[in-house]
Amino acid sequence: MSRRPRHPGLHDARGTELPHRLIDVRGVPTFLYDAGEGPPIVLIHGYGDTADGWRRVVPGLLAAGHRVIALDVPPFGRSADPDERRLLDFYKDFFPELFERLEIENATVIGHSLGGAITLHVALERPELVNRLGLVAPAGLGKAPPWWWHLLAGYEPFWRTALAIPSPLSPLIIRQGMKRFLDW
């Protein structure tokens, strides 16, 4: 019996396994599924998971006319281990190169758990790559919302008022606050 788990693979609504391959991104062999036509959606799994964790989501996205890219984020699943010690630093350059290799200008990026923290970093570092951002139970946000979450969510009357006043500085201030919080 093998100690490595068998990966079930991703399938479309008809049960056909999706095309998959290994590509080299920043010197790391990276396993991914890439299927469908239309606006791209990149799915980033959580800690210890693989792209196969999106098996219930992918058929619907394909049926809705999207190109779906689901990868085993290095060092998980069928992807190799990167040489860098700090993975978030590695991902900062990994995802722009991945997008370039896949010929994607920008995409909807959805991340779960650790994948949520990764997608948030990508969106903050390279906002031009992220058309829309989806966070599913993102890691790294702590037990209680930080001050900037109240600003974004508009819980306090003060924040609602502040967000209602158009200002070209608001997105920059929010982005910097989120970067500082994630770096912390």
Look up residue 75 and give its two tokens.
């060092």
pTM equals: 0.75
Helical packing angle, 114-125 and 87-101, nearest 10°:
70
Q: What is the pLDDT of residue 41?
A: 98
Tens digits of residue pLDDT in 96-131: 999 999 999 999 999 998 899 899 888 988 999 999
Tens digits of residue pLDDT in 147-165: 555 554 444 555 455 555 6
Q: What is the pLDDT of residue 1?
A: 45
Q: Which residues of the chain, if any, have pLDDT below 70?
A: 1-7, 140-184
Q: What are residue 46's phi and psi, to 5 degrees?
A: -90, 180
